[in-house]
Amino acid sequence: MTAPPAGRAVPRRPGPDRDAALAQYQRRARVYDLELAAFEAIRRAALRRLAPRRGETVIDVGCGTGLSLPLLREAVGARGRVVGVEQSPEMLALARRRAEAHRWRNVELVGAPVETADWPWPGDAALFHFTHDVLQRADAVANALAHLKRGARVVASGLRWAPRWAVAVNAAVYVAARRSVTTLDGLDRPWALLEQRLGPMRVTTSWLGAVYIAEGSVP
């Protein structure tokens, strides 16, 4: 496959493929942290919007290797709790290693697909950072939100299609997406399923429209 020649004009593909995602992240686990280093500013901007508070429980949906865990744990403090949910065994193993190395007793890691994961601590806030496949599954979005308190804050961030005129930018998004997602569906508005349940979200974009941060709260 080659990059799309005209912005967002990409053939639609089936929805997220769990088996393909597991294989994809099995291959990427060892280099994932290096690959995401270029997007660290987006993570920090998303966390500023989420604004975790002392003593809160924050859910890191699709936590990967745990890159957000230290920032979230610092924000909620020793009396707070961070719950990371991740379906990839290889990625989760690296997140566990990170937590064990720092002896984080208030970090809980759940190894399961988001759509079937369960945890007993209702969240005050939830982060969906670079979790496009998760955001394109209605059952995953529903299950994650069902584990949040009323009024809980929700922030999603990641890549999206830029305006059609930004052909070079969209080519870069396409290349990045091929390595990190199993469906290109929804890349115009990745937060759409969240918005169906939360109501209108505040969305800001950067990088010529190729990066988004969407904010909302549980009604």
Please give the distance of CA 216 from its chain centroid, rounded to a whole number: 15
Q: What is the DSSP code (8-state) at residue 193?
A: H
Mean pLDDT, to the nearest integer, of 112-136? Answer: 97
Question: Is residue 4 very low, low, confident or very high in pLDDT (cuts 50, 70, 90)?
Answer: very low
Top pLDDT among 107 and 27 is at: 107
According to CATH, the topology of domain 18-199 is: Rossmann fold (3.40.50)
Q: What predicted TM-score, i.e. pTM, was given to this entire model? A: 0.91
Q: Strand 211-217 relative to strand 202-206: parallel, antiparallel, unpaired?
A: antiparallel
Tokens of 191: 């937060």
The better pLDDT of the pair 7, 63 is held by 63
Q: Can you tell me the mean pLDDT for 149-171? A: 97
Tell me the pLDDT band of 91, cut-offs 50, 70 and 90.
very high
E strands, the chain, in order: 57-61, 81-86, 107-111, 123-129, 148-159, 202-206, 211-217
